Structure 1
Amino acid sequence: MAATPFLSVVITTYNDIHRLPTTVATISASLVQQSFPAVIIVVDDSSTDGTAGLAASYAGVYMLRCKHRSKGVAVRVGALPVRSEDVLLCDADLATPIEEWEQQGPHFSAGFDVVIRSREGIGAQRYNEPFHRYLMGRIFKTC
């Protein structure tokens, strides 16, 4: 990595071999349009489907592995070594489209250190979420 990137996009994965090609292509296409240096870091949470090998095959994408413990561990493994100005954490399903990142700028300019996007927030939209996932989320939320 020659220059310190402005943005590091950390993608956490677990058995996402079918999602990863679209995710990396979508994020890469978005970052190419930006005027700042950025990197993509894929953190594989000990997938058993070949996700790590696929991630390692992408030119310019950094791949890290961690033992399968929790999503929180994967996020930590990806975010702690980052030295960029901004860090965007996302899942391989891109539940929040990469284009949403640009809406965070005003919050950071206003002095916030962390901005969290939620599917449950006022005005939030769900993108390509299967009904069973939505239903399970409602069930778990009530527990």
Structure 2
Amino acid sequence: MLQNFSKIVIVSLIKLIYITCNDELGNLTDLSRCILSHLGLEYRGEIQKTESGVPCQAWDSEKPVHKVNISFIDEKFSDFSKKNAMNYCRNPSLHPDGPWCYSMEKNNINETCMIPLCSFSECKATGPGMEYSGKHKRGLSV
């Protein structure tokens, strides 16, 4: 039970991450277009086909081509429900290759999806900014 709670907390914290960039407008990075981590737990985009181009099956399909794992409860989805996840690529299984989906082809149960990693060279994704690799070389005086 504690392990499931930990996963829910991790996913919830990831959803609160805002990426701040060193540009004039201070735009936030759109995490619906890319994944922040290789696991892609935070991904909430609308890609709905596998890497090979096969359409994805809806996570809550009433007549599924492939039966959805019963351990994939609503809380394991970045959308907080299978219904909201529709047929989009997600990673409720914490698969190391990142977001995936059940395929609409009988001979191909599931496959990963081609979702790019976000590029943050001029951005910092965490408070301390340890991942920052941009060109800005001095701190901000308050």
Which TM-score applies when normalising by structure 2? Answer: 0.24
Choose between structure 1 and 2: higher helix proportion: 1
TM-score (norm 1): 0.24
Query: Which is greater in Rg?
Result: 2
